Chain A
Amino acid sequence: KNQVEQSPQSLIILEGKNCTLQCNYTVSPFSNLRWYKQDTGRGPVSLTIMTFSENTKSNGRYTATLDADTKQSSLHITASQLSDSASYICVVENTGTASKLTFGTGTRLQVTL
């Protein structure tokens, strides 16, 4: 069964601090892994997309890593800001079926003063 598991479930950090979110997946066959940011009341917004051959990708203060051998990914947020408070969702796409995505339940991040 295709699954995406994320940890921690929730996280509270002080503004300016760094944090790392984890994602493990069992989706097969693998096509790509995505990280989305979802603000409350809004739809998910793409941060990064990584294919099998990529092991790191950055988008501003967000850096995602991918280890396709161990089927693990991380999202590192540097110098957090209050606006980073959101849910971060790891999503894996499998090949074969046209663009079917498997979502994790997300990590709820709260950045405080």
Chain B
Amino acid sequence: EAGVTQFPSHSVIEKGQTVTLRCDPISGHDNLYWYRRVMGKEIKFLLHFVKESKQDESGMPNNRFLAERTGGTYSTLKVQPAELEDSGVYFCASSQRGLAGEYEQFFGPGTRLTVL
């Protein structure tokens, strides 16, 4: 079974440009999450989809970030316009509900974004 995949693995863009990150969750997983790790800091939650609906987007930094999950399958995270502080590693994860109610999340390899 394929795991969570993310594209691209690396992206280097200039300040002011637009970048779109893509995440393909594990097939059949209704829950999809975006996280970000900036250098030297812990991984932080950005938002959570249940199928195509945004369940929680309280971690989105500002309105330059737009996440979509049309059709409830893959998701995209667009940053427009990118700023220097957006640099970091963006992780996607997906899950289904576990037997005890906990959601085990499976992470993708991440997209390393560098804004120059």
Contact = CB atoms under 8 A, between A and B. Distances in A.
Contacts of B55: 98
Interface of A: 4, 31-32, 36, 41-46, 49, 51, 89, 93, 97-106
8 contacts: A89-B42, A89-B43, A98-B56, A99-B48, A101-B45, A103-B44, A104-B42, A105-B41
A102 B33 CA distance: 13
B2 interface: no
Nearest to A33: B102
- Majority SS of interface residues in chain A? strand
Interface of B: 4, 31, 33, 35, 41-45, 48, 50, 55-56, 58, 91, 93, 95, 98, 100, 102-110
Contact of B105 (A51, A97, A101): A101
Contacts of B104: 46, 49
Given A103-B44, A106-B42, A45 B107 contact: yes
B56 A43 contact: no
A49 B109 contact: no
Nearest to A100: B45
B70 to A, nearest CB: 20
Given A98-B55, A98-B56, A103-B43, A41 B109 contact: yes
Contacts of B91: 43-44
Contacts of A89: 42-43
Contacts of A97: 56, 58
A97 B94 CA distance: 16
